[in-house]
Structure 1
Amino acid sequence: MGSCLSLDGGSSLPSSPTSTPKKRKNMRKKPGMRSSSFDSRREEQLHRIPGRMFLNGGSEVASLFTQQGKKGTNQDAMIVWENFGSRTDTVFCGVFDGHGPNGHMVARRVRDSLPLKLSAHWEVTRGSEDGYREISSSIMGSMSSEENAYMHTGGESRVSVDLEEKEKHPEIYHTLKESFLKAFKVMDKELRLHPNIDCFCSGTTAVTLVKQGQDLVIGNVGDSRAVLGTRNQENSLIAVQLTVDLKPNLPREAERIRKCKGRVFALRDEPEVARVWLPNYDSPGLAMARAFGDFCLKDFGLISVPEIFYRHLTEKDEFIVLATDGVWDVLSNKEVVEIVASAPARSSAARTLVESAVRAWRFKYPTSKIDDCAVVCLFLDNESSSSATAYLKTKEQPSSLDQHDDGNENHKPSSPTRLDRSGTVKTCAEILPEEGEEEGGLMEATEDTQLLEEWSALEGVSRVNTLVTLPRFVPGE
C-alpha cells in the first residue's frame, strides 16, 4: 500500500535508512525485540488507565467510533482521555489518519505517545511564571530545518502575533500552545528513530484538543478536522469549523514546500487534489502539507509543526466533532453537526455519524472504495457526570486497527473514475495552480475570528488522500 515508485527506468525513490537490516554479532536477541517488549508493556499499562478510551463506545462526555473502509487495514485511530494529566476538569481528544505501508502503526503510536508527551511538558510548565518565555526561547533556539522553514514562509509574522496573543488570551493558552509545539516536535523525532516502525514513506495526520474548563486549545497537523456545534443568536444549531485542512494547495503551504525544493501539483486524473512530490522523483504524491512521519519529504517542505487554535467556550457551544477525512469527503460541516445532534443517544453519536458517512460514500461514489472513518464527539455541558465505568464498548463492529476486509479486497469496479488510496495512477502531466489563486476562509478560530466557510468535499470523484503508487517503467516490457 502506498509504496513510492518512480517513473524513471532503473531509478527509484531512495529507500528508508531503517529498511536495510544491519548485522550484529554476539547478539542472542534480534534487534528491536527489547524495545518491542517495552512497547507491549507500556501499551498494556495505558489500556488500564481509568478514563482513557480508544475503542468503539461512549459515555456521557464523549462518543468514539471507527470503521474500516474497503481499502485494507484500518489506518485510523482515536482517543478520549478524561481527567487528563490528573486534572478533573480536563479532557484530551484526538483522531489520527495513517497513510502509507505502516500508516496504521504510526497512527497508533502517535495516539499512545503524543498525549503522554503533551501532559509531561504541560506539567513542567504549569505553575512557572516564566515558563512561557523560557520554553518559547528554548524552542526558537533549537528549531530544526522544518520549523525554520515554517517560520520563514507563512509564519514570519508569528513573533508579533504571539505578542498580541499573549495579551488577548489567558495564560493556559500560551502554556498549552508551547506544550503542543514541543510535544509534536518530540513525537516526530521519536518516530524518525523508532526501531520497529519504518516511517520513511508512512505517516499520520493528527487533530487533537485539550479542554480545561471553558478553555479549548487545538493542535492540528494534516487534513483531519475539528468542527463545533453551537447555537447562534436565533438559537439555531450551526457548525463552526475550528481548524484548517492543511493541504498543499494552500498558498502559504505551497510557498514553503517550493522554497524547500519540493514540488506541488495535481495529476490530470484528479485535478482537484494537489500533492507533494520530491524534486527529482514523481513520488510519493502526498495529499497533505503537514504530517507526522513521511521523512522522505521532511527536507522538502513537509513539516509536523501543528497549527494551534484557541476558543473560549460559552453556554451556546454544545459539542465538538473530530473526524478523519473519510467523513469530511462526503459530508459537510452542517450535515455532520445535524447528524450528531439528532443521534438517539450521546454514547452512539459517533457511530451514527460514521454509518451516515458510509451511506453517503455508497450514494455519491458507488464505484469508489469507502475510506476508513474515525470520529470523536465531545459533549461540552455534562463532563462532570461521566466516569470510566460508563464506557460502553460496541460489539457489533470490530474496533481493532489491524482488521482486514478479505471479502471485498479483490473487487475492482471498471469505472475509470475510481481512484483507490493504494491503487495505480496513470502517468499524467501536472496541473499547476493559477497565479494569484487563493483559498478563501483561512483564519484561526479564536474568540473573534472563526472559520465560517466550509471546505467542500470532492466534486465528482473520490480522491486519493495519501500516497500514490506510480507505475515503474521496465525496459523491454
Structure 2
Amino acid sequence: MGSCFSAESRSPHPTSPSTSFRKRKSNAKKRLGSRASSFEYWRNEPLHRIPGRIFLNGSSQVASLFTQQGKKGTNQDAMVVWENFCSRQDTIFCGVFDGHGPYGHMVAKRVRDSLPLKLNAHWEVNVPGEEVLKEISVNAAGSMNIEETASASADEDSRISVDAEETEKHPEIFQTLKESFLTAFKVMDRELKTHQSIDCFCSGTTAVTLIKQGYDLIVGNVGDSRAVLGTRENDDSLVAVQLTVDLKPNLPAEEERIRKCKGRVFALQDEPEVARVWLPNNDSPGLAMARAFGDFCLKDFGLISVPEMSYRRLTEKDEFIVLATDGIWDVLSNKEVVDIVAATSRRASAARALVESAVRAWRYKYPTSKVDDCAVVCLFLDPASHKVCSASIAKSKEQPGSAVQVHNGHNGDRTGLARSGTCRESDEGDDTNKNEEEKETREEEIDPESEIEWSALEGVSRVNTLLNLPRFEPDKEDKGMRKQN
C-alpha cells in the first residue's frame, strides 16, 4: 500500500549530469519515410497538440481515463492514451505511471511524456527495409540520438533472455516491439539519471504500458501497477485475466537478484504484508517494488528498470483492458474491477466509476488509512475498436489541448532519502506542488460530454452491490470531489 519508506538518512548527491549526449549534429535532420516524417512532426510540435493523445481526465471512442488525488499530498499518478500511435491507424499506446518519493509526480509525468517518443523512435529503427529511419535523432525533449540507440541496444543488461521455443510461438511484431520496449526503457532511465531539473536519486515511478496493433497486444511492465483484461468465457460469463505480474521485492526471482546485489528485502513489523527494498547498511529507503524508473540510490543494489514483456493475441471475446495504479488494486480484486467497468452504462464514465468505487472501498476497508492516489485507463476492445476509429482521432482534434507542464525540481539542499508522499502517513504536499497539479488540470479543458456529474454517476448502486458495500451517501467532502478535480 506504500511505495517508499525511509528512516532519517542522507546520501551523497550523484555526480553532476553531463549534457554532451544531448548535442545534436548539424546534419541530424534527414529526409525520412512517411511514418518517420510524422515523427519529425511530433518532435517539433508540442505534445498537447498531437491528435489522439489524451493525458488528463477524459475519454475517446475507445478509451476512458480518470485520475484522482488521494490524501497523501500531491497526486503522483499519471496516465496517457495515444491513438494513431506511430501514425498507424490501427495502433494505440496506453500507459499508467505511479510516482513515489519527493519528486515522484515529476518523474511520472516525465516518463509519461518521453517514453512513448523513445518507444516510437526505436520501433521505427527496428522496422525492416527502412534504413533511412536509422538516421533518426531526438532533440533534448526526446533526449536520444542514434549513437545512444546503438549503445543501449548492445547493452545486454537491458534484455530478458528468450529461449528458442518462446521465439517461435510469438509473431514477429512481438520480437520487434520487445526490442523497442527494452531499449526505450533503458534510455528513459538513463535520461532520468542525468536530468538537470528532476532529482531522481530517491524518487521514481512505476510504468505499466501497452501497444495494441489490430489484434496484437504487447505489454511492458515495471513496478506494481497492473493490467487486467476483461473477457468472456464460453458460457458468456465475464472473467478477469491478469496480464502483468506485480513486481514486488518478495517475488523469489526479484528477491534473489536484489540479495545478490547486496540489497536487503524485509517488511516492517507494523506492516508485515509489505516487503520492501533497503540499502545494505542503512534502513532506507524501503521501496515497495523491485523494479522502477529512477530511485538511483538502489540501482546498484538490485533495483532495475527492465520491463517484463508479454504478448497476447486478442479475440472477439476480449472486451476491455484496465490499466491502473496500486491505489485501485490495494482495495479491489481483478474480478471486482472488471465487474465495475462492465456495470457502467457509458464508456466515457468507466474510469471515473472505478476510481470512485476504489475511494469508497478505501474508506470502508481502511478507515484509518489515507486514501492513495488512483489513476485508471480503460481501453475497450469490441470488434469495432480493434481497428482504431478515425472518428475518435478527428474528435480529439476538436478538443482544446493543454500546455505541456514543465516541472522544475529544486537543485538546492537534498532531501536525502526522506519519507515519500506515497508512504503510509506521509505529510501533505506543499503548496507549490499543489499549484503545479492544479495548473495542469486547469489547462486541459475536458470535453463536456465526457464529464460526469456526481449525482448522475452511472452504476453506483450496482457497483455497491458488486463490492458488498453499505449504501453510499455522499458527504460534503465527496460532493466537492468534482469541483476539486
Rounded Cα–Cα distance in structure 1 between residues aligned with 2:305 and 2:184: 11
Letter in 2 for 1:317: D
Matches within 5 A, 1:95-106: 95-106=96-107
Query: Could you say which residue in structure 1 is the equivalent of 2:202?
Result: 201
Are residues 421 and 189 of structure 1, via their aligned partners in 2, closer, same or farther at CA, if it must alter by over 3 Å? Answer: farther
Residues 279-333 of structure 1 show CA distances to partners (whole Å, capped at 9, x for unaligned) of: 0110000000000000000000000000001000000000000000000000000
Rounded Cα–Cα distance in structure 1 between residues aligned with 2:283 and 2:398: 44
Residue 417 (structure 2) pairs with residue 422 (structure 1): no
Aligned to 1:388, which of 393, 411, 414? 393
Rounded Cα–Cα distance in structure 2 between residues aligned with 1:213 and 1:280: 50
Secondary structure (helix, strand or coil) at the match of 2:256 reads helix
Residue 294 (structure 2) pairs with residue 266 (structure 1): no
Query: Could you say which residue in structure 2 is the equivalent of 1:354?
Result: 355
Shift of 1:423: 6.2
> Which protein is richer in helix relative to its size?
2
Secondary structure (helix, strand or coil) at the match of 1:282 reads strand
Residue 81 (structure 2) pairs with residue 80 (structure 1): yes
Rounded Cα–Cα distance in structure 2 between residues aligned with 1:137 and 1:43: 23
- Over the matched positions of the two proteins, sequence identity in percent amounts to 72
Matches within 5 A, 1:312-391: 312-381=313-382, 382-383=384-385, 384-385=388-389, 386-391=391-396
Shift of 1:59: 1.4
| Structure 2: gaps of 5 or more residues | 19-41, 134-147, 408-421, 429-485
Shift of 1:388: 3.4
Shift of 1:421: 5.1
Query: Could you say which residue in structure 1 is the equivalent of 2:14?
Result: 17
| Structure 1: gaps of 5 or more residues | 23-40, 403-417, 425-477
Query: Could you say which residue in structure 1 is the equivalent of 2:241?
Result: 240
Are residues 346 and 377 of structure 1, via their aligned partners in 2, closer, same or farther at CA, if it must alter by over 3 Å? Answer: same
Contact 2:7 2:284 in 1 (8 A): yes
Contact 1:228 1:319 in 2 (8 A): yes
Letter in 2 for 1:420: R
Matches within 5 A, 1:380-459: 380-381=381-382, 382-383=384-385, 384-385=388-389, 386-391=391-396, 420=424, 422=426
Contact 1:66 1:76 in 2 (8 A): yes
Query: Could you say which residue in structure 1 is the equivalent of 2:434?
Result: none
Are residues 136 and 75 of structure 1, via their aligned partners in 2, closer, same or farther at CA, if it must alter by over 3 Å? Answer: closer
Query: Could you say which residue in structure 1 is the equivalent of 2:114?
Result: 113
Are residues 42 and 175 of structure 1, via their aligned partners in 2, closer, same or farther at CA, if it must alter by over 3 Å? Answer: closer
Shift of 1:140: 7.0
Q: TM-score, normalised by structure 2?
A: 0.70
Are residues 212 and 330 of structure 1, via their aligned partners in 2, closer, same or farther at CA, if it must alter by over 3 Å? Answer: same
Letter in 2 for 1:127: P
Letter in 2 for 1:388: I
Shift of 1:141: 4.0
Residues 370-410 of structure 1 show CA distances to partners (whole Å, capped at 9, x for unaligned) of: 00000000001233334135459999xxxx999xxxxxxxx
Query: Could you say which residue in structure 1 is the equivalent of 2:451?
Result: none
Residue 143 (structure 2) pairs with residue 142 (structure 1): no
Contact 1:73 1:401 in 2 (8 A): no
Rounded Cα–Cα distance in structure 1 between residues aligned with 2:250 and 2:218: 25
Rounded Cα–Cα distance in structure 2 between residues aligned with 1:296 and 1:338: 40
Shift of 1:77: 0.2
Are residues 419 and 216 of structure 1, via their aligned partners in 2, closer, same or farther at CA, if it must alter by over 3 Å? Answer: closer
Letter in 1 for 2:100: H
Aligned residues: 368
Contact 2:207 2:221 in 1 (8 A): yes
Residues 422-446 of structure 1 show CA distances to partners (whole Å, capped at 9, x for unaligned) of: 269xxxxxxxxxxxxxxxxxxxxxx
Query: Could you say which residue in structure 2 is the equivalent of 1:179?
Result: 180
Q: TM-score, normalised by structure 1?
A: 0.71
Query: Could you say which residue in structure 2 is the equivalent of 1:231?
Result: 232
Are residues 303 and 421 of structure 1, via their aligned partners in 2, closer, same or farther at CA, if it must alter by over 3 Å? Answer: farther
Question: Deviation above 3 Å: which 4+ runs of structure 1?
Answer: 1-7, 41-44, 128-131, 135-141, 388-395
Rounded Cα–Cα distance in structure 1 between residues aligned with 2:397 and 2:364: 30
Rounded Cα–Cα distance in structure 1 between residues aligned with 2:6 and 2:185: 29
Are residues 84 and 392 of structure 1, via their aligned partners in 2, closer, same or farther at CA, if it must alter by over 3 Å? Answer: closer
Query: Could you say which residue in structure 2 is the equivalent of 1:464?
Result: none
Rounded Cα–Cα distance in structure 1 between residues aligned with 2:197 and 2:331: 35
Are residues 5 and 166 of structure 1, via their aligned partners in 2, closer, same or farther at CA, if it must alter by over 3 Å? Answer: closer
Shift of 1:343: 0.9
RMSD: 3.3
